Structure 1
Amino acid sequence: MVKVIKEKFVVIGKEGSTLDGEGFIQKLWDDANSHFSEVAHLAKKDANGGIVGIWGAMSDISRSFKPWEDGFSKGLYLAGVECVDNAEAPDGWIKWTIPSYEYIVVENHKGMFEETIGQMNEDGISLVGAVHDYTDPVTGKGYLYFPIREV
């Protein structure tokens, strides 16, 4: 487990809800990926011109970035790309500005969400916001970002 502080950042993507039914996250990614050219120019880039990050951002239903409700079974999901702060979402896309947090970051593989929540509970660490999926565009590796403190 690594702790990092990430200042507020913007994600523009395709938004859906657990109320949309089984498989809704994959449908959002299919939609976002097939229309990526519409937002590619807004993506935040690193020094080499590569995209900084692909995010599966999450929030409670009220869009206040609290954890998903009802045992992490009810919430909103935004399949998108990290963008420059002043970017405006094109038609059909949604812009979220994720607040600044200190996160526990773990590599994402099967069971890691439950394992990390369990470890946090054992260590007396509370989740203060919704967990986000992050994909590193350079390595293709996925990570989970667990917010533990607002900054």
Structure 2
Amino acid sequence: MKIETCKKESFVVIGKEGATTDGAGFIQKLWDEANSHFGEIAHLAKKDEDGNISGIWGAMSDFSRSFQPWEGFQKGLYLAGVECNEDAKAPDGWTKWVIPGYEYIYVERENDNTFSEVIRYMKGNGIALAGAVHDFTCPKTGKGYIFFPIRKL
């Protein structure tokens, strides 16, 4: 597992929001809903210099919406969406989150154990989470990554 670091200033994600209290499989249901209605927000998606979508995010927050980690890594909010320009307004039925800027440790999602392996690595190296963890999918490669905030900017 290759662990890398980066800094990302505050950014906006517009997507479909749900909570762990919605029951098993709620994240997949959110993605199905977001993907089937993507045309409603496609024009809001932030683009790179080649005109490609910048990022697809599975953003997370605690229930207070303060972007702290999920309670026990088991209970919280999830937003299945796309990175948008900061002035974008969420259409009806969509939710806009403004995620604070952080320095992150990030890794490619290799398997179902990747999250727990990074948490173990962080504990072993005295690195604390500074906020909620986020899933990121690179539109160019289709690869999935997990972003662990380690310092607020």
**How far did residue 145 of structure 1 move?**
0.3
TM-score, L = length of structure 2 = 0.97
Partner residue, 2:151? 149
1:50 equivalenced with 2:52 (yes/no)? yes
**How far did residue 109 of structure 1 move?**
2.3
Partner residue, 1:123? 125
- Matches of 2:77 and 2:5, distance apart in 1: 25
Structure 1 residue ranges (4+ consecutive) displaced by more than 3 angstroms after TM superposition: none
Which AA in structure 1 matches 2:67? F
TM-score, L = length of structure 1 = 0.99
C-alpha distance after superposition, 1:118-148 (max 9, x if no partner)? 0000000000100000000000000000000
What stretches of structure 1 of length at least 5 have no aligned partner?
Answer: none
Pick from 44, 68, 71: which aligns with 2:70? Answer: 68
RMSD (Å), alpha carbons = 0.4
Partner residue, 1:108? 109
- Matches of 2:74 and 2:19, distance apart in 1: 10
Partner residue, 1:18? 20
- Matches of 1:46 and 1:3, distance apart in 2: 21
C-alpha distance after superposition, 1:31-54 (max 9, x if no partner)? 000000000000000000000000
What stretches of structure 2 of length at least 5 have no aligned partner?
Answer: none
Partner residue, 1:91? 92
